Amino acid sequence: MAILIDLQRVTLEGFDRTILEDLSLTISTGDRIGVVGINGAGKSTLLRIVAGLQTPDSGNIRLGKGTNVGFLDQIPVLPAGTVREVLGEGWEVDAALDRLGMLKAVDTDIAHLSGGQLKRVALARIFAEDHDVLILDEPTNHLDLSAIEWLEQNITKFPGAVILVSHDRFLLDQVTTRMIEIDRGKTYVHAGGYSSLLEAQTLREEQAQNAEQIRRNLARHELAWLRRGVKARSTKPQARIDAANRLLAGGKQAAARDGAISFNVEVPRLGQTVIKAHNVSFSYSTGRQILHDVNLELGPGDRVGIVGPNGAGKSTFVNLMALRSEPTVGTVKHGPTVVTSYFEQGSDNFNLDATVQELVAGPRGIPGSPDDIALMKSFWFTGALCKTKARDLSGGERRRLQLLLALSLMPNVLFLDEPTNDLDLETIRLIEEFLAQWPGTLIVVSHDRTFLSRTTDRLLEVHADGSIADIPGGIDAWIARAAGIITSTNLGDDNAPAKASSNGKVLRDASKDVARLERRRTSLNEKIMSSSDLAEQTKLGSELSDVLQALARAEDYYLSLLD
């Protein structure tokens, strides 16, 4: 196992904070290193330092003799020419382009590609070239699930070392051998994949809580001892009393962000029918048909994930369901109580020259009102960030602002089109927790397998031929089928299609109840683990007991429908 890159005590100072402090890291052949941290923590900066594209303030970086490093930026830059001219000939290139959905674009000029197409071509190029180390910054952005599986396979079989920043937890857990966590300049290196990182974070938090309790107990004891002995001593203990008071008031290090995403607004009540699509088809003005014969009915509280290859029509389908587009044939109707809001991928559909507080206030509001300040704080827009223009926000901050503005409309039906792009893992996890408690109907287009698994309980696949079908078993079954673990959507039961057809909505509702209760169980477990209040733990434990009983009944009922 050869050493390819060695970092010794690397430090980088930012304008107002330390970005990286005293980092030492050895990258060797076979390493698969994932990098995580909140937006702005320094993940991309670390990648650029490792790639030799940015110089740290101090420390040493040594490359092994002849080591060739390949770097994929979040927004890649490619040479001029067509896709074919940039990538060259060969069956390997064509196979990669096919899996990445770009084979039909080989004669397209690079200058005419969208951001997502550019990313896929850049991925095909970097794996086709001869490198010892691959450095990948958010490589799954703009990829569909088939393309992500291709990426996963290529990372696994790559003979050199790979270091990547990604918010795709499934990918991280599948491929990484080590994880680097960046938190306020400090770096923590964990052996193993994403699961090991979570275990280490939990242990570190427990140790911090224990250390904080010990510190406070010591301070109290010191202060009590000093006060008891004041009159008996000839020397003045005031300095030590002041020091003990400072220790008691000091507290542990503040969290990088305060609290979870909270959005306490009334959601308008939904009737039994939310969205109903009947014999819907859609064609472009050129005559090219994207969707055909779509029939769908969604009710209150439904959680639907949408998957399918790039270009199949996922976003078109969601636009039709949201009444943002009209079908060529058929009808889409909303219930009379429906209030929708739409989170659109890659679209800053707000005035970039307005500040965050101006956008939150809206045209009729007063920027910086107490209610708006509370609202912005719940999504981590505090201090100077409130008065920052939208164009000066980072990609993750813009996505967070988009979600805040979408929810400020108080919808009871929420459309999310690739909501996890540009967001860090902590934000994604907190959005998942928020959506688990949000009572409305949710329709999500996403390539993030973990996000789909945690927020949806029904999966629809948009096929390349324009048809749409339910995926029995949800996202886990879809992944297993795509990986060849199962070969049929019936999950091994020859009668499953007939059963699904006969049970219809009853089966889907039963599955939805199980998923809802599982989300609640997970949420309660996490709250119990994070609480240090005995009374709160007792209350949560009682609620968890009720949820577990309800979940057992729901699972029994769901299984009875399959018999």
pLDDT digits (tens, 9 = 90+) for 483-497: 655 554 444 444 443
The answer to which of 365-374, 412-421, 424-433, 453-462 has the lowest mean pLDDT is 424-433
158 and 293 both lie in a single domain: no
**Inside any domain, residue 403:** yes
Query: How many domains would you assign to the chain?
Result: 2
- Asked if residue 230 is part of any domain, the answer here is no
Angle made by CA atoms 426, 431, 433, in degrees to the nearest 5: 95
pLDDT tier at 162, thresholds 50, 70, 90: very high
Residue 143 lies in a domain: yes
Task: Enter the pTM of the model.
Answer: 0.71
Residue 544's H or E segment, with its range, is: helix 534-562
Across 239-243, 454-458, 475-479, least confident range: 239-243
The mean pLDDT value for 415-442 works out to 83
Per the domain annotation, does 265 fall within a domain? no
pLDDT at 327: 94
Domain boundary among 197, 230, 262: 197
The reply to whether 236 falls in a domain is: no
pLDDT attached to residue 339 = 92
Count the neighbouring beta carbons within 10 Å of the beta carbon of residue 296.
17
Q: Is 290 in the same domain as 403?
A: yes
Q: Indicate whether 359 belongs to any domain.
A: no
**Range among 119-133, 421-435, 495-509 rated most confident:** 119-133
At a CB cut-off of 8 Å and minimum separation 6, what does 459 contact? 304, 305, 306, 307, 452, 470, 471, 474, 475, 477, 478
Cα–Cα distance between 276 and 331 in angstroms, integer?
8
Pairwise pLDDT comparison (463 vs 41), residue with the higher score? 463
Q: Please state, in angstroms and rounded to a whole number, the distance separating the CA atoms of residues 501 and 424.
A: 40
Q: Return the CATH number at 447.
A: 3.40.50.300
* 466 within some domain: yes
Percent residues over pLDDT 90 in the chain:
31
Question: 264 in a domain, yes or no?
Answer: no
What separation in angstroms does the CA of 446 have from each of 231, 362, 415, 417, 550?
69, 29, 11, 7, 30
Can you give the residue range of the structural domain that contains 109? 3-197
Q: At how many degrees (to 10) do helices 505-530 and 534-562 cross? A: 160
223 closest CA partner among 235, 232, 215: 215
- The DSSP 8-state label assigned to residue 440 in this structure reads S
In a shared domain, residues 302 and 416:
yes
In this prediction, residues 493-507 reach a mean pLDDT of 47
Tokens read off for 294:
């779509």
